[in-house]
Amino acid sequence: MKGKMILISVLAGVMLSAGASLLPGSAKAASTYVGSATCAGCHDKEYTNFSKYAKKAHSDRSIKMMAKKLTPEELKECYACHTTGYGQPGGFVSFEKTPDMAHAGCEVCHGPGSAHVDAGGAKALIKGKGRMNVKECEKCHNSERVSNFRFKPMLYGGAH
């Protein structure tokens, strides 16, 4: 138990310094990914709609379906868009280690949520109204498709 605690604090230190070097001059600790299930506790309506209607909620199935035909390297290329926070603190690592992050969850649009959650839901600590832009959808969707997104209606298909 004690050994595990020490390991955790060492890892936390490594993650903090990695975060700090990504954000030079920033005093705030960078927010990390926590997963859609964590959001459900306070945003039940959005989470329920998302789970029922959004293809994103099952985007792991799309890659699992094709996994047998892909090399491990090719499969890794799918993770950036089909999972949450791949390669970033708190984000997707593998189907076994981080099953809760295996879909493209709330945080692919709203950004990593740990600071918002830890503060009990502070608005300023999450990307919400007026701080989101369809351009950000182009990280994963091709620009042609995004230009056809009418922001509001597509929310129901893509989110909640």
The token pair that represents 39 in the structure block: 């959001």
**Which residues neighbour 134 within 8 Å (Cβ) at sequence distance 6 or greater?**
146, 149, 151
Q: From residue 129 to residue 148, what is the string marking binding to ligand HEC with x (rule CB under 6 A)?
A: x--x-x-xx-xxx---x---
Residue 32's alpha-carbon distances to 111, 122, 132, in angstroms, are 9, 15, 18
32, 82, 91, 102: which one binds ligand HEC (CB under 6 A):
82
- Residue 111 C-beta-side C-alpha neighbours within 13 Å: 15
8, 9, 121, 143: which one binds ligand HEC (CB under 6 A):
121
CB of 24 to ligand HEC, least distance (A): 25
Query: 32: closest CA among 123, 126, 128, 137?
Result: 126
**Which residues neighbour 57 within 8 Å (Cβ) at sequence distance 6 or greater?**
36, 50, 51, 103, 105
The token pair that represents 55 in the structure block: 């293809």
If the CB atoms of residues 13 and 151 are measured against ligand HEC, the closer one turns out to be 151
If the CB atoms of residues 7 and 28 are measured against ligand HEC, the closer one turns out to be 28
15, 19, 29, 62: which one binds ligand HEC (CB under 6 A):
62
CB of 21 to ligand HEC, least distance (A): 23
Q: From residue 26 to residue 55, what is the string marking binding to ligand HEC with x (rule CB under 6 A)?
A: --------x-x-xx-xxx--xx--x----x
The answer to whether the beta carbons of residues 47 and 39 sit under 8 Å apart is yes
Size of the site for ligand HEC (CB under 6 A): 54
27, 120, 144, 150: which one binds ligand HEC (CB under 6 A):
120
13 binds ligand HEC (CB under 6 A): no
The token pair that represents 16 in the structure block: 């903090």
CB of 97 to ligand HEC, least distance (A): 19
